[in-house]
Amino acid sequence: MDRRTAGVDAPERHFACTRCGACCNRAPELELGESAAFAETFVLRLMMRIYSLPRALSDFVSGLPREEASAEFYGTKRLLGQFAATSWPAKVKRDGRAVDYVQYLSLSVLPLDLGAGSCAALEGDTCSIYARRPLSCRSVPLHYSRPAAAAARDLDAFTATPGYRCDTGPQAPLVIAGGSITDAPTLAAHADAHDQAEADRRWKSALVKAMKTGEHGLPSPREVEAQAASGALTASMLGAWRVGGNNGAIARAQLLLEAQCELIEQTMQRVELDRDTAATLMAMLREYRKAAQTRSG
């Protein structure tokens, strides 16, 4: 049976990256604890986003057969619990009735989109930092925040993207078999991402506390929730790094600010930027310089 027509009833998939570079069309989202390692590579922003999941499986709408829906629901729930900074109950109006949901606050790091249409680490078709690329890049196309139950569908959707030249032929390694991910590098990336989430737990909790008290000008979790329909909120990394420095998650917040200042200055000289992006970079530069002076003064 052709694997494209097999659907999720026969979750067996082959995949190899040919390093065409096509999916490096934007910068990768990072875990909080990865931010220090990429402060000289990307202009970083703290990203605050809400994910919602019904409290009960019976309210989970997926269009999948019951067993698959159940596997996807519980897998998603477990992963949201692992990666989210905090969660709270909420009622969501659906089809005229109030449904019990859980809102999960995700705190991650997103390189600023410089409008170039590609990741800042891409040189030609090649990743210039391949050996130390972020966890999300290491787990392409089976992101570590997605449940194994959705892996075959995720892979199909990814590899069907126009312009992507992934090898999915039978000669490529088997990456999904019997409904499980079997690819060793992907599994290693998932394990590292879960370890990172565990290591970031205290830092994220401290950051949630800072958000609740409005420290560092950060929005509260409820403010992030209130505007969830229009997307994620971002802020400079100053608050995240200061909180991380205070609770021992990072050792050299000062150096990270200096590295970002240098990178922002280089970026503003090198890259043609639209007005909004240039204004964001200028605001970050002013904020980081002031913070650096305050600390060293």
Closest to 199 measured CA to CA, from 28, 37, 27, 26: 37
Contact window for ligand SF4 (CB under 6 A) among 5-13, 127-135, 176-184, 266-274: 127-135
Query: Dihedral sign, CA of 223, 202, 188, 66?
Result: negative
**Least distance CB 17 / ligand SF4 (angstroms):** 3
**Least distance CB 135 / ligand SF4 (angstroms):** 10
Per-residue mark of binding to ligand SF4, 166-195 (x: CB under 6 A): x-----------------------------
Residue 255 in contact with ligand SF4, rule: CB under 6 A: no
Within 10 Å of residue 154's Cβ, how many Cβ atoms? 18
Question: How many whole angstroms separate alpha carbon 205 and alpha carbon 48?
Answer: 13
Contact window for ligand SF4 (CB under 6 A) among 126-134, 171-179, 215-223, 284-292: 126-134
Q: Which of 71, 140, 271, 278 binds ligand SF4 (CB under 6 A)?
A: 140
Q: Which of 32, 79, 121, 264 binds ligand SF4 (CB under 6 A)?
A: 121
Query: Dihedral sign, CA of 231, 237, 242, 247?
Result: positive
Residue 116 in contact with ligand SF4, rule: CB under 6 A: no
Q: Which residue has the tokens 């922002």?
A: 264
CB 146 within 8 A of CB 154: yes
Cα 22 to Cα 120, 133, 159: the distances in Å are: 13, 16, 11
Q: Which of 8, 10, 22, 255 binds ligand SF4 (CB under 6 A)?
A: 22
Q: Which of 19, 202, 252, 295 binds ligand SF4 (CB under 6 A)?
A: 19
Contacts within 8 Å (CB) and 24+ apart, 70-79 = 71/147, 71/148, 71/149, 72/147, 72/149, 72/150, 74/147, 75/147, 75/148, 75/149, 75/150, 76/146, 76/147, 77/53, 78/147, 79/144, 79/145, 79/146, 79/147
Residue 112 in contact with ligand SF4, rule: CB under 6 A: no
Residue 127 in contact with ligand SF4, rule: CB under 6 A: yes
Q: Which of 14, 133, 143, 216 binds ligand SF4 (CB under 6 A)?
A: 133
Per-residue mark of binding to ligand SF4, 76-95 (x: CB under 6 A): --------------------
Contact window for ligand SF4 (CB under 6 A) among 133-141, 210-218, 222-230, 236-244: 133-141
Residue 21 in contact with ligand SF4, rule: CB under 6 A: yes
Residue 119 in contact with ligand SF4, rule: CB under 6 A: yes
* Cα angle 227-261-130, degrees, rounded to a multiple of 5: 80
- Would you give the distance in Å from CA 61 to the centre of its chain? 24
Report the interface residues with ligand SF4, using CB under 6 A: 17-24, 28, 119, 121-122, 127, 129, 133-134, 137, 140-141, 164-166
